């Protein structure tokens, strides 16, 4: 199947009646799964065309196409950002390519976002016609998340998209933890840490909300210091709002997550925020941290299942680094001298126990590759009386998004 820019322009013309391309250029995307381009038509409008490279990627695009059609004008008016508009689709080889409206802006690295949030560029605000200073990037992100989580659940459920209770979210993460433990490659200290959080019932008392489901920096279109649009809507569902915060913990600057949560809480208190409570639950970041750390375990599981020895070694190294970070932080908090190798001396076959959990770790992996409520689905696995679906974004991203940074 051809994926040249000229071919993608022809695909866009075939998918949208009346679209007459006059120019085409590349568009950043996940090169392992898609080929994308931005097409300029004769009327001066821009369109983004995405062509999948595998059946799994095609399913993702079909899901996103369905979700975007659920965003009616009334729903879009509630959001402080733009959402792509589904324009058309066309068969491209044995798969389907999709055309959406193009939104100005480009994604930025997580640490660049943190830098902009801490020190806004005055040039971005020179031409803003307002007496009030524009909101910082942290405030924008907090309001963005609040607006998503305040969407009516009927938007998701009427489209036959997944909905999960708080207990179902917990059980799905337990399945992910068991699969990670079965590899016998995860430091036991991490298994104990995660088990502690999962066993603490107070952590899992939260009202489910509409969530993006796979939010990360690549889904944010930034222009002149403003979040112009949000993409990547393949995993919209009702579930744990903490999953939409997990990606923030990958930043080296911890103030990014703190600032976004503060802005999110302020948005929750506004009367226009139609949510079941007026304050974020106190354990939101605890679950977000668990979600971010389990992303590495999910990466490891996928690599082991596929027999990809190089990726297995990378995942093991990153999990060992995370375990050492946790050990150092725990030793510092208790006033002891940290021993970097202590975590690795715990017997690997020892079942998860009740070690201290929920402490902030300086090394955080990216929360990439989640499905549904943020836990890893296992085909055919029954959880809380329900069969888990098979939409596994970790498989589709080939575990290439795992990372750990130290502050």
Three-class DSSP labels, the chain: CCCCHHHHHHHHHHHCCCCCEEEEEECCCCCCCEEEEEEEECCCCEEEEEEECCHHHHHHHHHHHHHHHHCCHHHHCCCCCECCCEEEEEEECCEEEEEEECCCCECCCHHHHHHHHHCCCHHHHCCCCCCCCCCCHHHHHHHHHHHHHCCCCHHHHCCCCCECCHHHHHHHHHHHHHHHHHCCCCCHHHHHHHHHHHHCHHHHCCCCEEECCCCCHHHEEEECCEEEEECCCCCCEEECHHHHCHHHHHCCCCHHHHHHHHHHHHHHHCCCCCCCCCCCCCCHHHHHHHHHHHHHHHHHHHHHHHCCHHHHHHHHHHHHHHHHHHHHHHHHHHCCCCCCCCHHHCCCCCCCCCCCCCCCCCCECCCCCCCCCCCCCCCCCEECCEECCCCCHHHHCCCCCCCCECC
List the domain boundaries for the chain.
5-101, 110-396
CATH class of 5-101: alpha beta
Angle at 81 between CA 292 and CA 61, to 5 degrees: 65
Task: Count other Cβ atoms within 10 Å, centred on residue 162.
Answer: 21
Lowest mean pLDDT among 37-51, 166-180, 373-387: 373-387
Map tokens 């998004």 to a residue: 401
Predicted local distance difference test score (pLDDT) of residue 128: 59
Cα→Cα distances 59→4, 91, 396, Å: 22, 13, 11
Predicted local distance difference test score (pLDDT) of residue 393: 41
Predicted local distance difference test score (pLDDT) of residue 407: 36
pLDDT tens readout for residues 108-145: 999 999 999 988 776 666 655 655 677 899 999 999 99
Q: Are 225 and 125 in contact (CB under 8 A)?
A: yes
Q: Is the pLDDT of residue 394 over 60?
A: no
Predicted local distance difference test score (pLDDT) of residue 184: 94
Predicted local distance difference test score (pLDDT) of residue 304: 94
Strand partners, 227: 222
Q: Is the pLDDT of residue 285 over 60?
A: yes
Tokens of 296: 């590495």
Predicted local distance difference test score (pLDDT) of residue 31: 75
Identify the residue with better confidence: 122 or 7: 7
pLDDT tens readout for residues 228-248: 999 989 899 999 999 999 999
- Its CATH architecture, for the domain 110-396, is Alpha-Beta Complex (3.90)
Strand partners, 35: 51
Map tokens 């802006």 to a residue: 105
Predicted local distance difference test score (pLDDT) of residue 144: 94
Map tokens 């690295």 to a residue: 109
Q: How far apart are CA 58 and CA 51, in angstroms?
A: 8
Predicted local distance difference test score (pLDDT) of residue 131: 55
Predicted local distance difference test score (pLDDT) of residue 328: 85
* Averaged pLDDT for residues 173-195: 95
* Averaged pLDDT for residues 35-40: 90
Lowest mean pLDDT among 51-60, 143-152, 389-398: 389-398
Q: Is the pLDDT of residue 67 over 50?
A: yes
The pLDDT confidence band at residue 28, using thresholds 50, 70 and 90, is: confident
- Burial of 95 (C-beta count, 10 Å sphere; 0-12/13-18/19+): middle
Q: Is the pLDDT of residue 392 over 80?
A: no
Q: Are 33 and 396 in contact (CB under 8 A)?
A: yes
Nearby residues of 260 by Cβ (< 8 Å), 6 or more positions away: 138, 141, 142, 145, 245, 248
* Averaged pLDDT for residues 47-54: 90
Predicted local distance difference test score (pLDDT) of residue 368: 42
Q: Are 381 and 387 in contact (CB under 8 A)?
A: yes
Q: Are 322 and 297 in contact (CB under 8 A)?
A: no
Q: Is the pLDDT of residue 360 over 70?
A: no
Whole-model pTM? 0.78
Predicted local distance difference test score (pLDDT) of residue 335: 59
Q: How far apart are CA 143 and CA 139, in angstroms?
A: 6
Closest CA to 63 of 397, 304, 407, 391: 391
First to last CA, the chain: 44
Nearby residues of 121 by Cβ (< 8 Å), 6 or more positions away: 225
Q: What is the mean pLDDT of the chain?
A: 80
Q: How far apart are CA 354 and CA 19, in angstroms?
A: 60
Predicted local distance difference test score (pLDDT) of residue 132: 65
pLDDT tens readout for residues 200-216: 999 999 999 999 998 99
- 5-101 against 110-396: fold identical: no
Question: Phi/psi at 94 (nearest 5 deg)?
Answer: -95, 0
Task: Count other Cβ atoms within 10 Å, centred on residue 219.
Answer: 15
Map tokens 């008392």 to a residue: 205
Predicted local distance difference test score (pLDDT) of residue 125: 62
């Amino acid at each position: 199947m051809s994926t040249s820019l000229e071919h993608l322009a022809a695909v866009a013309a075939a998918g949208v009646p009346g679209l007459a391309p006059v120019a085409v250029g590349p568009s950043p995307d996940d090169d392992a799964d898609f080929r994308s381009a931005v097409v300029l038509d004769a009327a001066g409008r821009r369109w983004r065309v995405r062509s999948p490279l595998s059946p799994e990627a095609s399913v993702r695009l079909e899901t996103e196409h369905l979700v975007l059609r659920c965003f009616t004008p009334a729903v879009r008016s509630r959001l402080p950002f733009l959402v792509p508009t589904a324009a058309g689709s066309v068969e491209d080889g044995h798969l389907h390519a999709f055309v959406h409206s193009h939104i100005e802006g480009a994604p930025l690295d997580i640490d660049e976002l943190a830098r902009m949030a801490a020190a806004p560029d005055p040039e971005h605000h020179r031409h803003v016609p307002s007496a009030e200073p524009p909101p910082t990037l942290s405030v924008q992100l907090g309001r963005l998340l609040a607006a998503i989580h305040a969407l009516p659940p009927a938007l998701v459920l009427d489209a036959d998209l997944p909905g999960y209770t708080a207990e179902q979210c917990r059980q799905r993460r337990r399945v992910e933890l068991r699969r990670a433990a079965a590899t016998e490659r995860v430091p036991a200290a991490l298994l104990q840490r995660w088990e502690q959080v999962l066993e603490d019932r107070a952590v899992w008392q939260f009202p489910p909300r509409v969530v993006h489901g796979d939010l990360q920096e690549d889904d944010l279109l930034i222009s002149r210091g403003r979040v112009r649009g949000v993409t990547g809507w393949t995993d919209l569902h009702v579930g744990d709002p903490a999953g939409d915060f997990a990606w923030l913990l990958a930043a080296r600057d911890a103030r990014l997550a703190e600032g976004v949560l503060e802005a999110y809480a302020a948005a929750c208190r506004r009367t226009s925020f139609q949510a079941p409570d007026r304050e974020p639950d106190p354990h939101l970041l605890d679950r977000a941290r668990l979600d971010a750390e389990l992303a590495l375990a999910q990466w490891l599981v996928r690599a082991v299942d596929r027999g990809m020895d190089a990726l297995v070694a990378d995942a093991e190294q990153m999990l060992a680094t995370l375990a050492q970070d946790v050990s150092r932080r725990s030793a510092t908090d208790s006033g002891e001298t940290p021993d970097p190798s202590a975590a690795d001396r715990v017997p690997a076959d020892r079942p998860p126990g009740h070690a201290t959990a929920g402490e902030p770790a300086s090394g955080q992996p990216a929360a990439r590759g989640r499905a549904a409520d943020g836990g890893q689905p296992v085909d055919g696995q029954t959880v809380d009386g329900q069969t888990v679906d098979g939409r596994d974004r970790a498989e589709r991203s080939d575990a290439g998004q795992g990372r750990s940074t130290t502050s």
